[in-house]
Amino acid sequence: MDHFSFTKIVVGDLDASAAFYAQTFGLEESFRVSAAIADRPMEEIVFAATGEGAGTLILLTFTDGAPAPAGVIPGFVTDDVDAVFARGIAAGGSVAQEPRDLPEHAHRVGFLADPEGRIIEVAQPIVVQTDVH
């Protein structure tokens, strides 16, 4: 059976990015890999899944100095968006878009930028009040 398993984010500074994601989202490094992809040497950090059945986040850097394509927007669900934003800013990130309530989606959503400017969506489920007459 096919299923989603992991997301790899290509970064420039592997250790600085790992520190940001660990401090901001409480991720724990599981192991590191040194290998090659399409003959390009790379190193990566694999984080432990955050819950049973959860996908894994992997940070990858190509060590040959050539730029790599980017474009992934990882998404994190939390019970406190504002606390995640505070941790992210303290870890060297910045606010890309302030969190706001989106009652039509039953979530509070904001976008952080990691130290390299990569956008991260952070969502918090909210209870939507309905008018009952």
pLDDT tens string 13-30: 999 999 999 999 999 999
- Position 67 scores a pLDDT of 67
* Backbone phi and psi for residue 128, each to the nearest 5 degrees, phi listed first: -100, 125
- Position 43 scores a pLDDT of 94
pTM comes to 0.77
Residue ranges in the chain whose pLDDT is less than 50: none
The CATH number of 6-63+72-125 is which of 3.10.180.10, 3.40.190.10, 3.40.50.620, 3.40.50.2000?
A: 3.10.180.10
